[in-house]
Amino acid sequence: MTPTAHPLAPDVRMVSTRDLVWLIAALALVILPHTLRAPWWLTLLTLCLYAWRFYYSLNRVPLPSRWLVIAVAAVAMLGVWVEYRTLFGRQPGILLLMLFSGLKLLETRSHRDATAAAFLGYFLIITNFLYTQSIPTALLMGAALFTITATLVGFSAPNRAPRANLRTATVLLAHAAPAALVLFLLFPRAQGPLWGLPQDAYSALTGLSETMAPGNISSLAQSDAIAFRAEFEGELPPQPLRYWRGPVMWDFDGRTWRMGSPFLSTFEPPSGGRATYRYAVVLEPHNHNWLFALETAASLPENARYTEDGLILGRTLVRGRLRYEISSMIAPTSDVEEHPNLLRRAQLLPAGFNPKAVALAAQWRAAARSDDDVLSRAITFLRQGGYAYTLEPPLLGPDSVDEFLFVTKAGFCEHFSSAFVFLMRAAGVPARVVTGYQGGDLNPFDRIITVRQSDAHAWAEVFIRSRGWLRVDPTAAAVPGRIESGIARAVPETQQPLIMRPELEWLRGLRYQWEAAAHKWNVWVLGYNPERQRDLMSYIGVRDADWRSLTATLFTVLGIMTLLLLLWSLRRLARPDPVQRAWRAFCLKLAAHGVERTPSEGPRDYAARAARALPSARRPILTIAGLYISLRYGPQVTAGRVTQLRRLVRELRLT
């Protein structure tokens, strides 16, 4: 229409120093967690770019030329490439985004650029969630969300006091919360990645692996990370029964045990056991497809498969927190049948290793009448051998079993189980190593058992012809305290993680509460998935909800909410002040008795005329008018006098 610039259009309004301070603060808040992961020089560079832009603004000099910005970007990208050898992985990609936030600031002149930078800030928030979605992260990012929003409000109202803008941002977010909740619950959720993820997407996950070598589990045992949580219906299994079975190791090369490729088999529920426990497991992502269950699984989770050696496999790799329901039976009657090939595989040993252990096993075999006898000799040997349990075992040479059994005599569960299975196989008894977790921490607040990586354990299973596969825990035989009271009593205090030391009782209490909250968070917020969505929909009466019914429900609810908000805001506008309302009611009452106010008539004249026309109500009419005039035009309005006016109008009786 006209060539004049539009003063509200963001591309013509220049950013002020105040806007810039807000923007930089918001961006700094967003990249704060990234600075812990980024190389130090990149963090420093990004902060320098922020500071550089701020310097430009303070000194009111023109911004650097585009070429300089491009040069800085090129150098930084080269640096990232040198660091990661790629620009397209998850970590390098995120770091580049972080860097671009600084570069974007350097070319920010108008509010349009600044708004784009703020949107980049919103996007950077989500990159933090790729690493962790814990409650502290959520809180910090909530603060960042708030700051960016306040920044945006500041852009659109440059002359307003920052406090007023903060209030507006608060109101906006508070009003957005119900809509966000509805969207979160009802937005049709698609499962799984839309396309292939970068190679390094899951590299940071920890847990048991397909192999077991000396040192694997003991390094895992120093990690405080949670492996899974189990929530039992009814009674809890006592500590010594909490063997959470995982990968089974069959093949030994003298140093490393491997599980080999698992053979699938059909699952047959066991019978005759002592007790059955029903529970739900919330498994942390570990980038493998096996699931953990208390020994022995009595039912399988949905869609799970079962292997010949009793491992439960999920449908896909566990890359997100997974919840499944399962039940287990303690000590069922075991299957005495086993495939001869498997039994043969369970007796294989690499030739030429550990001669002393082989000789010892041969000696037991010669003296023993049965496999049972060999087994009890081995257990006695371990129990009386004076072995020590330590998280920092001495390094072992090629004959690792010999060295452990006869020289160092100190080790972790992997040393005990490895040596025991070796001895059994050398004596001709089929045996295998089982890895998994033992124990778990009961949280007294929500009765959930938390199993950490530090509970990682390895034990053995031997096959006795009349009794089938039997669990033998050589660590328990050698160091009984490990199983009965957990790792805390078994290793010297100085080796324990800080939190496990007994003198920090109060700290542990605090931690239990925190973990109960974190578990709820995991299950209800992070674990909300399509199945839960369907449950919710059937709860509100929509069976077999698909994306169509979800979308319909979503739009209906959102539409109603928007309408309510609109009505609320209009109503808030439409309401005149109480004094005016009372006066209007008064005029209506008088008009009903024939004294209508003419538009040009002031309150004093009108009241005088009404008092003449209705002499019986002369006094109240004049009082009301006087009160109204003093409230409307007088210097001070007190709540008491407003109430008095309303009461007088209400009580006015005209005849």
| Catalytic residue annotation | 413, 457, 473
Residues 6+ apart with CB under 8 A from 543: 537
What would the two tokens of residue 173 be?
A: 């977010």
Instruction: Give yes or no for a contact between 421 and 439, defined as CB atoms under 8 angstroms apart.
Output: no
Closer residue to another protein, CB minimum distance, 229 or 589:
229
Phi (first) and psi of residue 257, to 5 degrees: -95, 140
Helix axes 90-106, 17-35, angle to 10 degrees: 160
Instruction: Give how far Cα 337 sits from Cα of 273, 334, 472, Å.
Output: 18, 9, 19
Residues 103-142 that bind another protein (CB under 8 A): 111-112, 115-116, 119, 122-123, 125-126, 129-130, 133, 137-138, 141
Q: Does 89 bind another protein (CB under 8 A)?
A: no
Closer residue to another protein, CB minimum distance, 7 or 615:
7
Residues 312-341 that bind another protein (CB under 8 A): 319-320
- Separation of alpha carbons 224 and 11, rounded Å: 51
Q: Does 193 bind another protein (CB under 8 A)?
A: yes
Kindly state the smallest distance separating residue 377's Cβ from another protein, in Å: 52
Q: Which of 2, 59, 598, 600 binds another protein (CB under 8 A)?
A: 2
Q: Which of 37, 175, 258, 646 binds another protein (CB under 8 A)?
A: 175
Residues 544-573 that bind another protein (CB under 8 A): 558, 562, 565-566, 569-570, 572-573
What would the two tokens of residue 471 be?
A: 């669990």
Site string for another protein, 451-490 (x = CB under 8 A): ----------------------------------------
Closer residue to another protein, CB minimum distance, 4 or 341:
4
Kindly state the smallest distance separating residue 580's Cβ from another protein, in Å: 11
Kindly state the smallest distance separating residue 646's Cβ from another protein, in Å: 19
Q: Which of 75, 87, 139, 164 binds another protein (CB under 8 A)?
A: 164
- Going 559 to 560 to 562 to 563, the CA torsion angle's sign is positive
- The residue assigned the tokens 């909300």 is 528
Q: Does 638 bind another protein (CB under 8 A)?
A: no
Q: Which of 59, 159, 494, 638 binds another protein (CB under 8 A)?
A: 159
Residues 242-281 that bind another protein (CB under 8 A): none
Residues 6+ apart with CB under 8 A from 31: 43, 46, 98, 101, 124
Q: Does 639 bind another protein (CB under 8 A)?
A: no
Q: Which of 574, 635, 638, 655 binds another protein (CB under 8 A)?
A: 574
Residues 524-543 that bind another protein (CB under 8 A): 525-528
Residues 507-526 that bind another protein (CB under 8 A): 525-526
Residues 10-49 that bind another protein (CB under 8 A): 10
Number of CB atoms found within 10 A of residue 313's CB:
17
What would the two tokens of residue 274 be?
A: 């002592």
The site that binds another protein (CB under 8 A) totals a number of residues, namely 73
Instruction: Give how far Cα 164 sits from Cα of 175, 280, 462, 565, Å.
Output: 16, 48, 73, 21
Stretch that binds another protein, among 170-178, 259-267, 302-310, 344-352 (CB under 8 A): 170-178
Which strands form 312-313's sheet, in the order they lie side by side? 264-265, 305-307, 312-313, 290-291
Closer residue to another protein, CB minimum distance, 70 or 180:
180
Instruction: Give how far Cα 346 sits from Cα of 90, 375, 414, 419, 468, Å.
Output: 42, 15, 17, 14, 13
Q: Does 217 bind another protein (CB under 8 A)?
A: no
What 3-state class would DSSP assign to 293? strand
User: Per-residue DSSP letters for 644-655?
Assistant: HHHHHHHH----
What would the two tokens of residue 155 be?
A: 């852009």
